[in-house]
Amino acid sequence: MATPGRTARPRVAVVKFASCDGCQLTILDLEDQLLEIVSRFDIVEFPEATSRRSPGPYDLVFVEGSISAPEHLDAIKELRKQARILVAIGACATSGGIQALRNWSNHDAFQAAVYEHPEWIESLATATPISDHVKVDAELRGCPIDPGQLSELLTAVLVGRRPQIRDEAVCRECKRKGIVCLVVASGEACMGPVTTSGCGALCPTYDRGCYGCFGPRANANAKSWSTGLLKSGRPPEEVWRLFAGFTGYAEPFRTTLTELGKSKG
Amino acid sequence: MITSPAPSQTAAARQWFLARHDLGALVEAIRDTGRRVIGPTIRENAIVYDEVQSAADLPAGWRDEQTAGRYRLEHSNDDRAFGYTVGPTSWKRFTFPPNLTIATAHKTTNIGFEQPVPDVPPVAFLGVRACEIAALAVQDRVFLGSQFTDEDFRARRSAAFIVAVQCTTCSSTCFCTSMGTGPEVRGGYDILLTEIEDGFVIQSGSPDGAAIVAKLPTRRPSHAEAGAAVDNVEAVRTQMGEPLPMAGIGERLKLQLDHPRWVQVADRCVECGNCTMSCPTCFCTSVVEKSDLDGKSSTTERQWDSCFDVAFAKVAGGDFRARPRDRYRQWLTHKFSTWWDQFGSSGCVGCGRCITWCPVKIDVREELAAIAPPIPPVIKPVAVEPVAASPGTYSIARLASMRAETEDTTTLSLTDVDPAFLSGRPGQFVMIALPAFPAVPISISRFRSNGIDLTIRAVGATSTALDNLHPGARVGLRGPLGTFWPIEEAYGRHAVVVAGGVGLSPLHGLVDALVANHDRFESVSLFYGTRTPEDRLFRDDLTAWSASKSIDVAVTVDRAGPEWKGRVGVVTTLFDMISWDCTKVTAFVVGPERMMQASVQGLISKGVPADRICVSMERHMECGIGLCGHCQMAGRFVCKDGPVFRLDDLGDMFNREGI
Amino acid sequence: MHARTMDDYVAVIAMLNHTWFGAELSPETQERLVKLGEIQDFETDEVILHEGDDAREMGILISGRIALRTLVPERGPVTILSVEPGDIFGWSAVLADTQAQSTVVATEPSRALVIEGTHLRAALKEDHALAASLYPRVLKAVARRLRATRLQLLDLFAR
C-alpha cells in the first residue's frame, strides 16, 4: 500500500452506482482544500475525476448511487470486502434516491410502457440504499452532500476521530441563521422538522420549503407531520409528493408514504 | 413568578412627550453615540430584530396576528410604530449568539488553547418589551449569577443600551400577566417609551438614557397624555384576559412526572426544537470542533442546541432520555419547575414564542393545564375506610405507654393497632371503649410507625377510666373516623396552625406533617394559647418545634404566675405578629368555641380568605358514624361530615348560638 | 440615656420606627416624642411601676418583654398580659389623676422609651399635631387590651 519513502496516505476510492454524479462533483467542489486533500489522501480510483484506476484494497471508499441493476449486487459486496471504511454518500446511496420511488409502483409495467424492447433492459424491481446490502461505516446525506460535512469527515479520518455530524432538524439551522419559519409565517409546506440538517437550511434561505433531501432524522415523527399537513387542508396527493421526494424510501418516510398511499387511492 | 427589578420612578417630573415624527431623532441620537441600533423591522413576512438605520426601517402601521403555529402580518388602521408584539427573534440572538468561537487550539510539539477576548462593539436594543426585559434578567441569573460566569455574555449585555417599549397590544399567544412579567415595564432600561395617539411618553432609566433624552425635541406631557400612556398599557392587561393559575406550578409539575399526557404531547411533537430556539431564555448549547485537515489548529465553536435533540442526553453507555416523552417532559419541567430550583425564578416569561412558532401547534398553556392543573381549592375531605365501624364491633389495641401532659390530660400511646388506623390522617378521631364504659370520641393526636397516640382529658367516666389504665392494658377502637385536615390546601402558602388548650391535640399530627414537608409551604407557624402555662400540652414537642428552623412557634397564656417569662395574653394577640400577605395564608384552628370564634374573626379581619380556614368542631357523639343523631350541627353530622370543616362550608352556622 | 446629640436622636428615632406604636408617625412627632422622653434599660424582674401608684410614666417598649401583673387574693401576683416590643405600657399617664392599673415588671432585659407623665400631658395639651397622632394610637392600644380582657372574661366564665 505505502509508496516507499513517503508516509502512508490513506488510499481512497470514489465509486458510483445508479446516480447522477452530483455527490462526486461535490468532492471536486472543495476547491480551496483540494490540493491539501490530495496531498493527504491518495485518490486511487475516481472515475469522475481521473482516468487512474486501481483495484482494492482501499482505506476509504466513497460510494455514490443506489443499487438498481443486477450487476450492482455483486459489485457492492466485492467493494465492501476491499474497503476498510465504506462511506455512503448522497440521497441515492443512503436512501435509494429518486429511483426508489419505483419501489411503490409496478416496475415491469413501467419498463414495458417506456421501452420497445423491455427484455433488453437489466433493472432490478427496486432501487435500494447501500446499507440494505452491506455494512456501511458512515453516511453523508444530502442531494448533493454538503461540502462542509464532507470536509469534516475527511478531517475526522485523518485526525482519527468520529465525524461530528449532527442529526438534528433543519429547523435548527434556520433558527440559528435567523431565517423566519416559512411554515408559521407563510403557511408553506416544508419538510424541515422531520429532515436532518447539514445543508445550512439552503432552501428556506431562498424562501422555499425544505425538500427533505437530506433524509429523515432518526426518530423523526413523520406521522405527526403528515397528519398536520393533511389537517391543514392539503389533499393526500400533495402530502404524498412532499414525502415522496429524494429520500422517500427511508424510514419513517417510507411507512408514511405507504399509509398515505392507502388514502390517496 | 419572576421578581421584577425594583420599580423605576414614574413620577410625572421625569416623563416627557416625544412627537411621532420625532422618533427618528431618538434613533439618530443613539447612533450618534457610536452605537448600532438593533430594532424591529420587517423581513421575510415577519417582524424580526435586525439593524435599523433610521425610524423609517421600523414597521410602523403594521400589526401581527399570532396563534399557535401561525404568524401573519397585516396592515393596521393607524401608523403606530410599535403596534405589534414579539416576533421570531429574541434579544438572546445578540446577547448569546447562535454561533460563537469560544476557543482556539493548536498542536505543535506542545498543545495550547486560547480563549478569544470578547470584542463587542456598543449596540442599542430598540423596542424591548416587558417580557423581554424579564428574559434578559433571567439570562443574567443564568450566565452571571453563580461562581461560573459567561464573560462573553457579560460583555454583550453591558454593551447594550436598552430602549424599552411598553406593549399597547397583545397577541393571543401572550401570557406575560400569568408569569408576572408584564405588561408594565419595571426597570431594567435606559429609556422607556409608551406609545400614545400622537407620539410617545418617554422617560429615562439611567444617566446614559437621560443624556439621550435631553437631546431630543421633547416637551412635558399633558395630564391627558400621561394618563393615556398608563391606560394604553392597562388595556393590554384586560385584553390578555384572565391570567393562568401559575402559582405553585413548579411544585405541581414535580408531582406529575408520570402523567399520561406526556405521551400524548410527545406523539404530536416533531422535536424540531423551534420552541427552544425561539425561547428567549433557553440556553442549552453544544460545541463543534472545526480543524484543518491534520488537526494541528482548530477552533471550538459553541452553537445553540436543544434538549429535544435525540442525542442530547447520550453518553457512551446509553441514553438518559431515550423517549420523546422524556425529552418533552425535560423541556417543560425545566422551564416551569426546576428552573426555580436552579435560578430562583421561572424560566418562562410568557412571551408566547414557543406557541406561535411550533409548527404542530402545541400550546404549552394547554399542556400545563392538562398535566398540572392547580390543586382545586374545593377538596371535599374523603374519609378513609374505617375498621370496626359499626357499634358493637371493636378492634383491640394495646396500651404501650402513657405520659401525663398536664394535671388532667394524658397521652396514651397505643400499639398493635389495625393498619387502617396507621393510614388515617391528622384530624380524624377514633371511638374508644372499655368494657362497661360507653365509647367516647378521641382525636388521634399522633401517628407513629407502629401505633397511634390519643390525648385524653379526664372529664367523664370513660376518660377518667382511660386515664387510670396501665401499660399493657387493652382498649377497643373503631375508626379512623371523620374528615381530616386538608394539608394540600396549604401547599405554596403560609400554613398557620392556631390551637387553644387541648385543641392542640387534633392538630398535633398536622403539625408533624407540616414540619416534615416544610419545603412545600411558604412558611409554617404554630400559635398556641392556653389558660395557664401548666395547661400546655406536648411541652417536649413545643420545645423541639421552637428550636426547629422548619416552623415558627409562638406560645401565649391567658394568665400566669411570676415565674412565667413568656407571653401573656389571649391567642389572638399573636396575630399581631403576622406580617405576610394574609390572602396567602391557610389556617387550621381548634380550641374552645369562644377561642375559635375570636381566632377566626381575627384571621378574617387580617385578610385570610374564608375558604382557606379550617376548623374542627366538637359535638356529643355516641356512635361516631352518623346514626345516633346526637352530633348534628346545622344539618351536618360532625362525626361524618366533620369534625374538620372548611369555614366557608359552615358559613354563618359557625358563630351561631344554639345550633 | 438622654438623647442629647443629633446622633442620639437619630438612633432613638430609628428604634421608635421599629415599633407599631411609633412607626408611621410623622418625623416631627417622632422627634417630639424622643425629646420628651428618654431611653431606659431595665433588668429582668425590675419593677417599673407598682399597681396603685400614680400613673407617672408611659413607655413604648423597644425590645424585651414586660409583664403586667395584678395581685389576686389567695393567688398572689398573676400576670394578666405581657407587652411585646412595639406596644406601650402605662397608657394611663395620658390622663391626669389616675393610678396604674397593674404592676409593670420586666421579665427579661428590656429597653423602652419612657416619657414622664406631666411632660406628656402638657405637650399633648399644647401641641395639637402631637395629640392628633398620639391619642388614636393610645386608644388602639387600650382597645386591644379591652378586647383581650373581654376574651379572658368570657373564657373564665365559660368554664
pLDDT per residue over A185-195, tens digit each? 999 999 999 99
Pairing mode, if any, of strands B36-43 and B123-128? parallel
Beta carbons within 10 angstroms of residue A265's beta carbon: 6
The tens digit of pLDDT for each residue in C16-71 reads 777 777 777 888 888 888 888 888 899 998 998 888 888 788 999 988 999 988 88
When scoring B64, B70, B272, B301 by the number of chain A Cβ atoms within 10 A, the one with the most, hence best to mutate, is B272
Residue B5: the pLDDT is 36
Secondary structure class of A169 (helix, strand, coil): strand
* Pairwise CA distance, residues C104 & B408, whole Å: 32
CB C99 within 8 A of CB C55: yes
- What's the N-to-C CA distance of chain C in angstroms? 47
B540 touches chain A (CB under 8 A): no
Residue A175: the pLDDT is 96
Residue B381: the pLDDT is 47
Residue B581: the pLDDT is 86
Give the least confident one: A41-45, C29-33, C81-85: C29-33
Pairing mode, if any, of strands B437-447 and B567-568? unpaired
Chain C closest CA to B506's CA: distance in Å? 20
Provide the edge-to-edge strand list for the sheet that holds C57-63: C38-42, C110-116, C57-63, C88-89
* Pairwise CA distance, residues B101 & B269, whole Å: 32
Residue B379: the pLDDT is 37
Rg of chain B's alpha carbons, rounded to an integer?
Answer: 32
Q: Which residues of C touch B568 (CB under 8 A)?
A: 67-68, 79-82
Which backbone phi and psi does C54 adopt, to 5 degrees? -60, 145
H or E element: which one contains A66?
A: none
Residue B655: the pLDDT is 73
The tens digit of pLDDT for each residue in B154-211 reads 999 999 999 999 999 999 999 999 998 989 998 899 999 999 999 999 999 999 999 9
DSSP designation for B21? G
CB C33 within 8 A of CB C124: no
CB B615 within 8 A of CB B641: no
The tens digit of pLDDT for each residue in B52-108 reads 999 999 999 999 999 999 999 999 988 899 999 999 999 999 999 999 999 999 988
Beta carbons within 10 angstroms of residue B417's beta carbon: 23
Residue B383: the pLDDT is 52
Reply yes or no on whether the pLDDT at B654 is more than 90.
no
Reply yes or no on whether the pLDDT at B616 is more than 50.
yes
Mutual orientation of helices C128-158 and B593-605 as an angle, nearest 10°? Answer: 150
* DSSP code string of B164-202: EEE-S---TT--HHHHT--SS--S--SEEEEE-SSEEEE
Residue C6: the pLDDT is 60
User: Three cell numbers at B617?
Assistant: 368542631
Counted residue by residue, chain B has a size of: 659
Position C4 confidence tier, pLDDT thresholds 50, 70, 90: low
Which residue from A172, A217, A224 is facing B360, i.e. has the nearest CB?
A224
Instruction: Name the average pLDDT for chain C.
Output: 82
- What's the N-to-C CA distance of chain B in angstroms? 44
User: Three cell numbers at B2?
Assistant: 419572576
Which backbone phi and psi does B474 adopt, to 5 degrees? -115, 145
Q: Which chain C residue shows the shortest CA-CA distance from B602?
A: C147
Reply yes or no on whether the pLDDT at B612 is more than 50.
yes
Residue C2: the pLDDT is 52
* DSSP code string of A180-248: PPHHHHH-----GGGBB--S-SHHHHTT-----TT-BPTT--HHHHHHHHHHTT--HHHHHHHHSSTTT
- Cα B233 from chain centroid (whole Å): 25
Residue A4: the pLDDT is 46
Residue B256: the pLDDT is 85
Reply yes or no on whether the pLDDT at B28 is more than 80.
yes
Q: Pick the closest to residue B181 from B2, B398, B383 (CA basis).
A: B2
Reply yes or no on whether the pLDDT at A1 is more than 60.
no
Mutual orientation of helices A222-231 and B261-268 as an angle, nearest 10°? Answer: 70
Q: Which residues of B touch A219 (CB under 8 A)?
A: 271, 310, 324
**Residue contact A36–B88, C-beta within 8 A:** no
Secondary structure class of B286 (helix, strand, coil): strand
* DSSP code string of B507-572: HHHHHHHHHHTGGGSSEEEEEEEESSGGG-S-HHHHHHHHH-SS-EEEEEES-B-TT--SEES-GG
Residues 44-103, chain B: which have Cβ within 8 Å of A? 44-46, 48, 50, 69-73, 87-89, 93, 98-99
* Pairwise CA distance, residues B274 & C99, whole Å: 79
Residue B376: the pLDDT is 52
Interval A13-32 mean pLDDT: 92
Percentage of chain A beyond pLDDT 70 is: 96
* DSSP code string of B131-164: HHHHHHHHHHHHHHSSSS--HHHHHHHHTEEEEE
The tens digit of pLDDT for each residue in A194-225 reads 999 999 999 999 999 999 999 999 889 999 99
Most confident of B45-59, B372-386, B560-574, B631-645: B45-59
Chain B closest CA to C21's CA: distance in Å? 12
Q: Which residues of A touch B357 (CB under 8 A)?
A: 181, 184
User: Which tops the pLDDT comparison, B638 or B497?
Assistant: B497
User: Three cell numbers at B32?
Assistant: 450618534
Residue B255: the pLDDT is 81
Residue B328: the pLDDT is 93
Beta carbons within 10 angstroms of residue B626's beta carbon: 17
When scoring B530, B535, B567, B594 by the number of chain C Cβ atoms within 10 A, the one with the most, hence best to mutate, is B567
Residue C36: the pLDDT is 87
* Pairwise CA distance, residues B440 & B458, whole Å: 12
Task: Check contact A-B (3+ Cβ pairs < 8 Å).
Answer: yes
Residue C147: the pLDDT is 77
Neighbours of chain B (3+ CB pairs under 8 A): A, C
Position B659 confidence tier, pLDDT thresholds 50, 70, 90: confident
**Residue contact C79–B595, C-beta within 8 A:** no
Position C1 confidence tier, pLDDT thresholds 50, 70, 90: very low
Q: Which residues of B touch C76 (CB under 8 A)?
A: 561-562
Interval A17-25 mean pLDDT: 94
Chain B closest CA to C91's CA: distance in Å? 17
Reply yes or no on whether the pLDDT at B610 is more than 80.
yes
Interval C83-96 mean pLDDT: 86
Q: What angle do CA B557, B560, B563 make, to 5 degrees?
A: 120
The tens digit of pLDDT for each residue in A55-101 reads 889 999 999 999 999 999 999 999 999 999 999 999 999 999 999 99
Reply yes or no on whether the pLDDT at B394 is more than 80.
yes
Q: Which residues of B touch A184 (CB under 8 A)?
A: 69-71, 88, 356-357, 359
Instruction: Name the average pLDDT for chain B.
Output: 89
ipTM: 0.90
Q: Which residues of B touch C152 (CB under 8 A)?
A: 558-559, 570
Interval A157-179 mean pLDDT: 91
Neighbours of chain A (3+ CB pairs under 8 A): B
CB B153 within 8 A of CB B143: yes
Residue C34: the pLDDT is 84
Q: Which residues of B touch A221 (CB under 8 A)?
A: 267-271, 324
Which residue from B72, B294, B311 is facing A158, i.e. has the nearest CB?
B294
Q: Record the pTM.
A: 0.62
Interface of chain A toward chain B, CB-CB under 8 angstroms: 33, 36-37, 40, 152, 154-155, 158-159, 164, 166-169, 171-172, 175-181, 183-187, 190, 192-194, 207, 217-221, 223-225, 228
Residue B629: the pLDDT is 87
* Pairwise CA distance, residues A94 & C106, whole Å: 90
Q: Pick the closest to residue B605 from B627, B625, B633, B575 (CA basis).
A: B575
Q: Which residues of A touch B316 (CB under 8 A)?
A: none
* Pairwise CA distance, residues A146 & A202, whole Å: 10
Chain B closest CA to A43's CA: distance in Å? 16
DSSP designation for B635? T
- How far is it between the farthest Cα atoms of chain C? 55
Residue B438: the pLDDT is 87
DSSP designation for B336? I
Residue B380: the pLDDT is 40
User: Which tops the pLDDT comparison, B91 or B13?
Assistant: B91
